[in-house]
Structure 1
Amino acid sequence: MPETKPKSVLVTGANGYIGNAVARAFVRAGWITYGLVRNQDARASLRADEIISILGSASDKAFVERSANQTRFIFDVMVSCTEQIMDYIPHYNDTITLLRALAEASNKVGLRPLVIFTSGCKDYGTTGLDGSEGLSAHTEESPLNAPPLLVARATHAIKIFNHTDLFDAVVIRPTTLYGLSGSFYGPIFDIAAKASEKGVLELTADPKSIMHGTHVDDCAEAYVAIAEADRSVVKGQCYDISGRRYETLREVANALVEEYKIKGGVEYLPEKKKAGVDVVQMLIGFSQWVGSEKLRRDVGWRDKRQLFSEAVHTYRKAYEAAVTQQHGNVLKIQGFVRIADGDGQNSETQ
Structure 2
Amino acid sequence: MKVLILGATGFIGLPAAGALVRAGHIVYGLARSEAKAMVLAAEEIIPVRGDVDSDAWLPLIATLDVIIEAVTASPDGACNTFERTIKAAEALRPPTAPLLTYIYTSGTWVQGDNRTEIVTDTTPITRPVELLAWRPAVEQMVVRSTAVNGIVVRPALLYGRSASLLVSLFKSAAEGKAICIGTPGGRYAVIHADDLADLYVRVAEKSSLLGGKILVAANSQTESVDDLLRKLVQVSGAKSYEYRAPENKFEEAIQATTLVRPYLANALLGWVPKKPGLVEGLDIYYAAWLASTAPGSFIHAP
TM-score calculated relative to the size of structure 2? 0.90
Unmatched tracts of structure 2, length 5 or more: none
Q: Which residue of 1 aligns with 2:19?
A: 25
1:318 aligned onto 2:262: no
Q: Which residue of 2 aligns with 1:182?
A: 163
Q: Which residue of 1 aligns with 2:66?
A: 77
Q: Which residue of 2 aligns with 1:159?
A: 141
CA distance 1:258–1:206, change in 2 (3 Å): same
**1:147 is matched with which residue: 114, 126, 129?**
129
Mapped partners of 2:162, 2:96: distance in 1: 39
Mapped partners of 1:56, 1:201: distance in 2: 38
Q: Which residue of 2 aligns with 1:327?
A: 298
SS in 1 for 2:233: helix
CA deviation vs aligned residue, 1:96-129 (integer Å, no higher than 9, x gap): 133224433234562322111111110110221x
Q: Which residue of 2 aligns with 1:289?
A: 259
Mapped partners of 2:289, 2:36: distance in 1: 19
Mapped partners of 1:144, 1:172: distance in 2: 18
Q: Which residue of 1 aligns with 2:7?
A: 13
SS in 1 for 2:258: coil
Q: Which residue of 2 aligns with 1:126?
A: 113
Mapped partners of 2:46, 2:17: distance in 1: 10
CA deviation vs aligned residue, 1:117-160 (integer Å, no higher than 9, x gap): 111110110221xxx5xx42343223242222111223223211
Mapped partners of 1:318, 1:185: distance in 2: 12
The answer to whether the Cα contact below 8 Å between 2:101 and 2:207 also exists between their aligned partners in 1 is: no
Amino acid in structure 1 at the alignment position of 2:226: R
Offset at residue 276 of structure 1 (A): 2.1
TM-score calculated relative to the size of structure 1? 0.79
Q: Which residue of 2 aligns with 1:237?
A: 213
**1:93 is matched with which residue: 65, 70, 79?**
79
Offset at residue 201 of structure 1 (A): 4.1
Q: Which residue of 2 aligns with 1:136?
A: 118
**After superposition, where does 1:165-244 map in structure 2 within 5 Å?**
165=147, 167-195=148-176, 201-229=178-206, 231-232=208-209, 234-244=210-220
The answer to whether the Cα contact below 8 Å between 2:112 and 2:128 also exists between their aligned partners in 1 is: yes
Mapped partners of 2:143, 2:119: distance in 1: 25
CA deviation vs aligned residue, 1:52-109 (integer Å, no higher than 9, x gap): 111123322x546xx34x68x511111111122xxx1231133113322443323456
Offset at residue 205 of structure 1 (A): 3.2
Mapped partners of 1:202, 1:9: distance in 2: 40
Q: Which residue of 2 aligns with 1:340?
A: none
CA distance 1:206–1:314, change in 2 (3 Å): same
Q: Which residue of 1 aligns with 2:230?
A: 254
Q: Which residue of 2 aligns with 1:273?
A: 245
Unmatched tracts of structure 1, length 5 or more: 1-6, 333-349
Percent sequence identity is 24
Q: Which residue of 2 aligns with 1:341?
A: none
Number of residue-to-residue matches in the alignment: 300
Amino acid in structure 1 at the alignment position of 2:273: D
Mapped partners of 1:13, 1:208: distance in 2: 34
Which structure has the bigger radius of gyration? 1
The root-mean-square deviation of aligned C-alpha atoms, in Å, is 2.3
Offset at residue 278 of structure 1 (A): 5.3
Mapped partners of 1:107, 1:173: distance in 2: 31
Q: Which residue of 2 aligns with 1:46?
A: 40
CA distance 1:141–1:109, change in 2 (3 Å): same
Offset at residue 41 of structure 1 (A): 2.1
CA deviation vs aligned residue, 1:198-256 (integer Å, no higher than 9, x gap): xx545453332111110011011111111222623x11111111013111012201210
Instruction: Please identify runs of 4+ aligned residues in structure 1 that moved more than 6 A.
Output: none
The answer to whether the Cα contact below 8 Å between 2:236 and 2:286 also exists between their aligned partners in 1 is: no
Amino acid in structure 2 at the alignment position of 1:273: A
CA deviation vs aligned residue, 1:176-218 (integer Å, no higher than 9, x gap): 10111111011110111123xxxx5454533321111100110
The answer to whether the Cα contact below 8 Å between 2:32 and 2:51 also exists between their aligned partners in 1 is: yes
SS in 2 for 1:289: strand
